[in-house]
């Protein structure tokens, strides 16, 4: 069995409509749980952003899959008020599961990743067991694009301060910033379109449908998350079957303090077996 580092460096690929999609799939020698965990990256994020979290879950005995979404708009789908870009990412996720012959999967989705992961689950709910949404996008009603951008800028300022005050976060911050920077530069126009898609997507009813189809929904929210604060998702309070976990930290804390999140993820995944 290959080491974590060797597996993480080995990028697997699928072909979708003539485009090559890169993803990682790390499998420990001994599995604690037969259901793999898919990490759905948010805007500007890749598997490298979550490397430490993926390693922790791997070492705990979990198979982990994640994807690098291409910086191209295939212009495949337009439906309702949700951007085709999010449907494209959802289709990529489902195509990876089909390629790997995944029968059931648990999902950890961060930020924008919550949107395309929920869309994927809504399309093929029988594949999904548990979806943990971390600082999720797509659940703020009547969101404005410029309002969202201003909160993202505030989050960048908030994160910059950690360079001087948080030695643990500092170790992970550079990787996260570099991945976001590369992600945006590869297609700046698409980056702006993705931001627009996030701001005008609202998936409250999708969560209700998933619950009816026996998919367990959980939300992990940072108490200092200013990008998607829980107070802006007021209607979630009316959904008593959602499991909430509050954790001290901001929007990017899952990348900066992955140990805290690995612990919650393991508890949630194992207790629902």
What pLDDT score was predicted for residue 43? 83
- The encoded tokens of residue 186 equal 């590869």
Number of domains in the chain: 1
| Contact by Cβ (8 Å): 202, 141 | yes
What pLDDT score was predicted for residue 135? 93
Which residues in the chain land under pLDDT 70? Answer: 71-83, 142, 144-196, 199, 272-273
What pLDDT score was predicted for residue 176? 58
The pLDDT tens digits of the residues spanning 162-200 come to: 555 555 555 555 555 566 656 655 556 666 666 667 767
What pLDDT score was predicted for residue 219? 95
The enclosing domain of 58 has a CATH number of: 3.40.50.1820
Q: What is the dihedral of CA 259, 235, 79, 215, to 10 degrees?
A: 50
Cα–Cα distance measured from residue 50 to residue 175, given in angstroms and rounded to the nearest whole number: 9
For 113, the domain range is 4-271
What pLDDT score was predicted for residue 81? 47
What pLDDT score was predicted for residue 23? 97
What pLDDT score was predicted for residue 75? 55
Count of CA atoms in the C-beta half-sphere (13 A) of 65:
24
Q: What is the pTM of this model?
A: 0.85
Element holding 57 (H helix, E strand): helix 51-59
């Amino acid at each position: 069995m290959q080491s974590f580092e060797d597996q993480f460096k080995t990028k697997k690929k699928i072909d979708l409509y003539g485009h090559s999609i890169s993803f990682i799939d790390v499998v420990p020698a001994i599995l604690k749980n037969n259901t793999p965990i898919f990490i759905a990256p948010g805007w500007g994020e890749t598997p490298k952003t979550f490397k430490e979290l993926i390693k922790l879950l791997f070492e705990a005995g979990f198979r982990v899959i994640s994807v690098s979404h291409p910086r191209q708009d295939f212009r495949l789908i337009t439906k309702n008020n949700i951007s085709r870009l999010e449907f494209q990412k959802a289709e990529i996720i489902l195509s990876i599961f089909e390629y790997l012959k995944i029968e059931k999967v648990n999902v950890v989705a961060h930020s924008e990743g919550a949107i395309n992961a929920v869309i994927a689950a809504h399309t093929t709910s029988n594949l999904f067991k548990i979806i943990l949404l971390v600082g999720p996008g797509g659940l703020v009603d009547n969101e404005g694009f410029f309002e969202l951008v201003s909160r993202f800028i505030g989050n960048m300022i908030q994160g910059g301060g950690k360079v001087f005050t948080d030695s643990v976060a500092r170790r992970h911050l550079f990787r996260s910033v570099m991945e976001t920077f590369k992600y945006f530069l590869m297609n700046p126009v698409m980056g702006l379109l993705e931001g627009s898609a996030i701001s005008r997507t609202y998936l409250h009813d999708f969560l209700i449908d998933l619950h009816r189809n026996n998919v367990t929904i959980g939300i992990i929210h940072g108490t200092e998350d200013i990008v998607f604060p829980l107070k802006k998702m007021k209607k979630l309070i009316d959904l008593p079957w959602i499991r909430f976990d509050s954790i001290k930290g901001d929007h990017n804390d899952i990348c900066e303090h992955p140990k805290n999140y690995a612990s919650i993820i393991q508890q949630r995944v194992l207790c629902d077996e």
